[in-house]
């Protein structure tokens, strides 16, 4: 297992997910790809559109998320694990599947939040969608 993709959603529980990934990476000598998928903004077709203050606010949020990824990656490197942060924007499931293929990963690690029956029945679960669509093994870590 050379490459592991870890999906992070910055919900203040990502450290638990990263710690599990760290243990696996150390055991197998794997590289960790920490990926966060920024929300696509349907109001903007391109970055140049819309009021400047909104573009600035969106850019500041992306910079903050990028820095968080880089900080996590640096922390993993200091613990002896090769790691890189990856910030992408788009539809969550499609981006996870697409990036996992591009990076030729051997395992996808994702967190699972227990949001209840009605949420899962009407909205669905990201983790179950990844499992259904991925041809790559998926490890789901409960975060609640």
Residue 58 confidence class, pLDDT cut points 50, 70, 90? confident
Global pTM value: 0.84
The helix (run of H) or strand (run of E) holding residue 66 is helix 52-78
What φ, ψ does residue 20 adopt, rounded to 5°?
-65, -45
CB burial readout 112-143, b (16+ within 10 A) else e: beeeeeeeeeeeebbbebbeeebebebebbeb
Judged on CB neighbours under 10 Å (0-12, 13-18, 19+), 49 is exposed
Residue 129 has pLDDT above 90, yes or no: no
How remote is the C-alpha of 46 from its chain's centroid? Answer: 23
Q: How many residues does the chain have?
A: 144
Q: Residue 23's pLDDT is what? A: 97
* 36 or 51, higher pLDDT: 36
Q: Residue 1's pLDDT is what? A: 87
Q: Per-residue pLDDT tens for 62-121?
A: 899 999 999 999 999 999 999 999 999 888 889 999 999 999 999 999 987 665 554 444
Q: Where are the domains of the chain?
A: 3-142
Q: What is the CATH number of domain 3-142?
A: 3.40.50.620
Place of tokens 């669509």: 133
């Amino acid at each position: 297992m050379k490459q592991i993709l870890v999906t992070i959603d910055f919900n203040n529980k990502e450290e638990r997910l990263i710690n599990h990934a760290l243990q696996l990476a150390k055991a197998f000598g794997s590289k960790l790809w920490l990926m966060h998928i920024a929300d696509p903004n349907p109001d903007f077709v391109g970055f140049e559109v819309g009021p400047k203050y909104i573009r600035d606010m969106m850019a500041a949020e992306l910079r903050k998320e990028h820095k968080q990824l880089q900080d996590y990656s640096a922390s993993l490197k200091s613990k002896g694990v090769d790691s890189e942060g990856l910030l992408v924007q788009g539809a969550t499931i499609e981006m996870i599947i697409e990036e996992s293929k591009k990076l030729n990963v051997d395992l996808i690690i994702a967190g699972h939040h227990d949001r209840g029956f009605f949420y899962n029945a009407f909205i669905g679960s990201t983790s179950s969608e990844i499992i259904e669509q991925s041809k790559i093994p998926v490890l789901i870590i409960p975060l609640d």
